[in-house]
Amino acid sequence: MASLSEEEENYVRMSLLLTGISPRAVRTYFDSEFAPACLGASLKREYNKLLDLRRNIYFPDVPDSKTFDVTLMTLLLRNLTTLTPPLCGFDMLPSAIETTPASDLSRIKHYRTYLAYLDDGKLDTTFFNTAWNDITGVCMHIYCHLTEYKSPIVKYLKINLELDI
């Protein structure tokens, strides 16, 4: 049985967090900005803004944020709400002292992009710990009162990744 290295385990754990938990956090915030019952009307009201954006995705017969990926929800939040960009802009990792919804979304975007471009499937422990704390902090900040999401975060951190290869 081959074991994963610590760096490989870090990568898997971060992938689980970024694909399993953070989309739900973004969706929770998204649904607070765009009431699910009014999502279709909200999108149609902003039709001209969205004209050049992924039109077919935005205008299904019955829009539902559950079918939107993190990139789409973030794009809509950035362009159709009054989010103030983080000090360094939406495309850079915000400083730790910035705790606005915009900076939270930028953190998720930053780490998802970073993970997507890793070639070797490994994260060193220092980076992993920083990223893990940032993303779990973002998720708990967005969820704040939704303790049901704390359990999966803890599970992903402690999951046994020993595999039979």
CA 129 to chain centre: 17
- Write down the pLDDT at residue 92: 92
Most confident of 9-23, 40-54, 131-145: 9-23
Question: What's the pLDDT at 133?
Answer: 87
pLDDT band with cut points at 50, 70 and 90 for residue 144: low
pLDDT for 164 equals: 42
Q: pTM of this prediction?
A: 0.68
- Tell me the mean pLDDT in the region 56-78: 80
- What number is the average pLDDT over the span 96-111? 91
Mean pLDDT of 100-118: 90
The answer, yes or no, to whether residue 165 has pLDDT greater than 50, is no
What integer is the mean pLDDT of 24-50?
Answer: 88
Between 50 and 80, where is the model more confident?
80
Mean pLDDT of the chain: 82
